[in-house]
A = this chain, B = another copy of it.
Amino acid sequence: VARATPPGEFELIEAFTRALPLVGEGVVLGPGDDAALLQPPLGEELVATVDAVEEGVHFDGRFTPGDVGWKSLAVNLSDLAAMGARPLWALVALGVPTGTPPSRLAGVARGLGACARAHRVTVAGGNVTRAPGLALTVTVFGSVPTGTALRRDGARIGDAVLVSGTLGEAALGLEQGAAPRLARRQRRPEPRLALGQALRGIASAAIDVSDGLVQDLGHLCTASRVGASLRIAELPLSPAYLKATAGRPDPWGPALSGGEDYELCVTVPLARVRDALAAAARVGTPLSVIGTVTRLSGVQVARPDGGHHPVARGHDHLAAVRRLTSRRRAVRRQPTR
């Protein structure tokens, strides 16, 4: 267990940090001390979450180092988007296998830095440790005006269910010979931060689609003690999706159960649906009405002919990340239902 500092570690860390934005709004003291000193915006609540990406679990050799860095931050920013938060800061805990070339770490940092700059996030600190496989555990901080966060538990019966962008492409992006657009959705997800903020005060509940639409909407429904009915014909599907799934026995599978699209699924009172669509248009993000919040528990999927579409479970592509959060809520709620 005892070990000396491996040679080259200094260089590894330098290679990693050179590409990161390290100063920004509210950072009183960034990297260089025992901890970061941060000034939260006045009148705002802090929004904080952590997620890890692990070699062999969340990414493999098809991901460039830059993809890994981008995705490690983007999946966290997606959680902030689902809360309606504006991103502020990140802490990056890096696990590095012995013998990792500095160029690989520099590539990871460039991807992470590109995502941080694109979304105005400052890397305020972090740490580096030896690990069996490359791993990035990223903590992100954002903020919302007090009391305005989008939560999972506000959906009401009769609300509309909406989803941003298009579905199922990230899961298809894992398949052999996937089209470049699909592979990019898997490797460089775009968190819907502008949309999340635009829907504060409009949406009644929100969640990001990381484990698959039906599963994540199910979490939202459980938290809100409602159910939902989705209309399969209204799922937003891209031309690339339609091409890739043409002729399959279940062409809707990836859209309903495929993970990692990092779109937002929100519920909106019927009287505010026009406002929601207008807000989405203002920030340039597609938003589609796909269903209704119901009294029944669980998520039902309706075919155009009115029949129920059975939803396969376990299309959990790369979705090893299980939030204590969502699971615990489910655990606590079950005995009381």
Residues of A whose CB lies within 8 Å of any CB of B are 1-5, 9-10, 13-14, 16-17, 22, 28-29, 31-40, 45-52, 54, 56-60, 79-80, 82-83, 85, 89, 91-95, 124-133, 135, 137, 139, 141-142, 144, 146, 149, 151-153, 174, 206-208, 223, 314, 316-329, 331-332
Contacts and interface: CB of A to CB of B under 8 A. Distances in A.
A207 B34 contact: yes
Given A34-B207, A324-B125, A39 B50 contact: no
Chain A interface, DSSP helix/strand/loop, else mixed: mixed
Nearest to A48: B36
A133 B129 CA distance: 13
B325 A52 contact: no
Copies in the complex: 2
Contacts of A322: 5, 9, 13, 127-129
Contacts of A149: 28-29, 37
19 contacts: A5-B316, A10-B327, A10-B331, A13-B331, A29-B149, A31-B323, A31-B329, A32-B325, A33-B152, A34-B79, A35-B47, A36-B48, A38-B45, A38-B48, A54-B130, A54-B132, A93-B137, A128-B321, A131-B132
Contacts of A151: 29, 33, 37
